[in-house]
Structure 1
Amino acid sequence: MNTGVMGIRYFAHAVGQVLTSEAVADSLAVRRSRYPATLDLDKAFRSLQNFTGPRPGMPARPAFAMFEGAVTNTGCGYLPFERALGAREVQAIAADLATIDDEDVAADVRAHPVYRDPDDREVEYVLTYLRQAREFMSSLAANGQGMVYTIG
């Protein structure tokens, strides 16, 4: 889906357990490191934030930890949001993503579209990236890895 909007996107990179604690401090080094596994959620992260985030009277889902955050606007653009998640957090997120029903996400995207797409293109766009996120996090969890992600 072409959102027609340039700008803020979501990228995640796998990191080894040792690197996770220092990943945010030097995220460029992580992106250039020997850990090639990456996840690009493009702009679908906004819908996944909405779905997994806190709702009135309900806490956020565990998976929200991988989507949480926003850029900091400045007078000359924005500063990216970066976060590192350790192996235990990745395992909890992977387990939660595995329980998310695609139809529930589809219904949520239809009820709260980010891009106001009149067709189901936005639904398919978000579901494609949700499936990639599931695979990515499942792989990291199986390998005992953490991750660092950037929204920016």
Structure 2
Amino acid sequence: MGIRYYAYAFDSENTEQVLMDPLGFVSRDPLADAWGMEPGATIGYPTFKQSTPERDMLYLDKAWRQLQWLTGPSAEGRDARPAFRMFEGEVTMHHDGWESWIRALTPAEMVAIAEDLETISEDTMRVQGTTTSCALSDSDAEYAIPYLRRARTFVRALADEGRGMVYLIG
């Protein structure tokens, strides 16, 4: 099925608890949340409509990698953008599959991330993706652009509401 990206919002009063146990704020079955399936079901029919409210969950499918390349440091020496904080991370592969990457971002961090995401235009993604070391193909950029829009909307709402997020790549 592949490695995917899921983020869950949390209210500011939970920040300390989230920082101590970020996994405690992630659904037991994030793919079911994203695809509109019954959690834990081994057989079922996805609705492909996110069952967790969009205010509370961001699903980036496999586009996190393109967004990570776009915002991360480059071989040319470019520093990572502030938005990289929400895409940074790699799973740890082992003989049974992988161990997910998880990170909590505080409400204070969301402001800079939201401001940075707003400066990344779709044209920038298309052009920069083909001129940096990540060399996004046109199809990669086109795939990731709708997810960039979702990320921008989700993070802006978190910043405006004073909420943070926990994200999982896995």
- TM-score category (smaller protein): 0.7 to 0.9
- Measured in 2, the distance between the counterparts of 1:135 and 1:94 equals 9
Indicate the structure whose relative CO is greater, using CA pairs within 8 Å and at least 6 residues apart: 1
Aligned sequence identity (%): 46
- Deviation, 1:28, is 4.2
More divergent stretch after superposition (140-149 vs 101-110): 101-110
Secondary structure at the counterpart of residue 89 of structure 2: coil
Q: What TM-score do you get using the length of structure 1 for normalisation?
A: 0.83
- Deviation, 1:136, is 0.2
- Measured in 2, the distance between the counterparts of 1:140 and 1:64 equals 16
Per the alignment, residue 82 of structure 1 pairs with 102
- After superposition, where does 1:35-50 map in structure 2 within 5 Å? 36=53, 37-50=56-69
Runs of 4+ more than 3 Å apart? 28-32, 108-111
Number of equivalenced pairs: 140
Match of 1:138 among 139, 144, 156: 156
Match of 1:31 among 27, 43, 49: 27
Q: What TM-score do you get using the length of structure 2 for normalisation?
A: 0.75
Per the alignment, residue 142 of structure 2 pairs with 124
Q: Does the aligned pair in 1 maintain the 2:60–2:147 contact within 8 Å?
A: yes
- Measured in 1, the distance between the counterparts of 2:25 and 2:152 equals 25
Q: CA RMSD in A?
A: 2.0
- Unpaired segments ≥5 residues, structure 2: 29-51
